[in-house]
Chains A and B, each alone.
Chain A
Amino acid sequence: KAGVTQTPRYLIKTRGQQVTLSCSPISGHRSVSWYQQTPGQGLQFLFEYFSETQRNKGNFPGRFSGRQFSNSRSEMNVSTLELGDSALYLCASSRGQVGYEQYFGPGTRLTVT
């Protein structure tokens, strides 16, 4: 079974630009979660989607948004990039029900200059 894939793997953007990251979950998984990892703050939850609906959102500004498509693929968007948005963005997929584990992708390394 193919794992979670994320594209692109690496990205360099300039302050003020916007970026879209993509995540393809494991086949059959309906839940996709996004996390941000930085050296200072560690792994932080951004949001989670289940069957195209956002079920939960972390404590991030509105510049961070996401969506999920009918095939469970998900995208997250960051607008008006800031230097502090430089991070590893991780996507995880799950069956989305109680007792099921999350499977993480390799992440997208975003560098904002």
Chain B
Amino acid sequence: DAKTTQPTSMDCAEGRAANLPCNHSTISGNEYVYWYRQIHSQGPQYIIHGLKNNETNEMASLIITEDRKSSTLILPHATLRDTAVYYCIPTNSGGSNYKLTFGKGTLLTVNP
């Protein structure tokens, strides 16, 4: 599995966009980039994933650089309920290696 580097913590003002970076320079060609978040004392929640192209869903947008060595998760209008630890997880998500390897993630604190 590719190693990831994420900031330990970030702050964001409520209503503003939160941009969470992730470096995954050792990602292999068949690895997707998944983003999950964990709100305190709850199970992790899937946010979004992508392989090469940028992706958007109702929760967030995912921007993957052309060389695939880094990505950015964008929460367009952060709310207090978005305060959580965000995990960037490259995984090939298939076959005998199907698992998620969680790092330490980024604690995003959304302030009023």
Contact = CB atoms under 8 A, between A and B. Distances in A.
Chain B interface residue number, banded: 20 to 34
B49 A96 contact: no
Contacts of B43: 4, 90, 92, 104-107
Interface stretch (B9-17, B18-26, B67-75, B100-108): B100-108
B44 A48 contact: no
A50 B44 contact: no
A58 B92 CA distance: 16
A99 B93 contact: yes
B42 A55 contact: no
**Residue of B42, B51, B104 most packed against chain A (CB within 10 A):** B42
A102 B46 contact: yes
A98 B93 contact: yes
Contacts of B45: 104
Interface in A26-52: 31, 33, 35, 42-45, 48, 50
A92 B93 CA distance: 13
A31 B32 contact: no
Contacts of B95: 55, 98
Interface of B: 32, 34, 38, 42-46, 49, 51, 87, 92-104
List the 8 shortest-distance A-B pairs measured between CB atoms, nearest first: A104-B43, A98-B94, A43-B102, A101-B46, A45-B99, A104-B44, A56-B99, A90-B43
7 contacts: A33-B100, A56-B96, A56-B97, A90-B44, A99-B32, A101-B46, A107-B43
